[in-house]
Amino acid sequence: MIASIIAGQAYGRRATLEVSHDTLTWRAHRGSLPATPENIVTTVHDVRDVRWIEQSWSLSGGILAVLAFVWFYTEGALWGAITLVIAAALLVYRRMRPRLFLALELADRRLVLKVAVTSASDARVLVERIEHALATGELPPSPPKLP
């Protein structure tokens, strides 16, 4: 695997996960002011579990859709129709632009990255690589050289 950078957000701030062959370098900032830098270097072989989540459902859109049908009967067709149009817009928007999350579980922590759309394909490749390593029980050919 060629080096790539998966960009996104963690802890409400910009974060990156650099992938170079089997080495993963996590860079984020956590906590309030002043933010504490979090730099973690590991390998795909040290990841215990990986999750790729594409959240393409809008909870607020679903609630508004239910509310729209209630308002059709109680408030009249106008308010129900207006609410249904807003609900449909929210549902279509979230369907077209899902929230993307990458979760890596290490021995002592869980790293969750809200992945930017531009980095989604690199994140999917990483998930496939880690799942392959987990499924086959693959071990590194030599001890990893960490920076």
Q: CB burial class (10 A; 0-12, 13-18, 19+) of residue 10?
A: buried
pTM metric for this prediction: 0.79
Q: Are residues 106 and 48 in the same domain?
A: yes
* 147 in any annotated domain: no
Residue 145 lies in a domain: no
Q: How many Å apart are CA 47 and CA 78, to the nearest integer?
A: 53
70 and 34 within one domain: no
pLDDT digit string (tens) for the chain, length 147 residues: 558 899 999 998 999 999 988 889 999 998 877 888 999 988 888 899 999 999 999 999 999 999 999 988 888 888 889 999 999 999 999 999 999 999 999 988 899 999 999 999 999 999 999 999 889 887 777 666 655
Are both 39 and 75 inside the same structural domain? no
Same domain, 107 and 131: yes
Residues 105 and 44 reside in one and the same domain:
yes
The pLDDT of residue 75: 83
Name the nearest CA neighbour of 16 among 125, 99, 114. Answer: 114
Q: Do 32 and 16 have their domain in common?
A: yes
Is 117 part of a structural domain of the chain?
Answer: yes
Residue 67 lies in a domain: yes
Between helix 77-96 and helix 59-74 the angle, nearest 10°, is 170
Determine the pLDDT at residue 143. 65
Q: What is the span of the domain harbouring residue 34?
A: 4-52+100-136
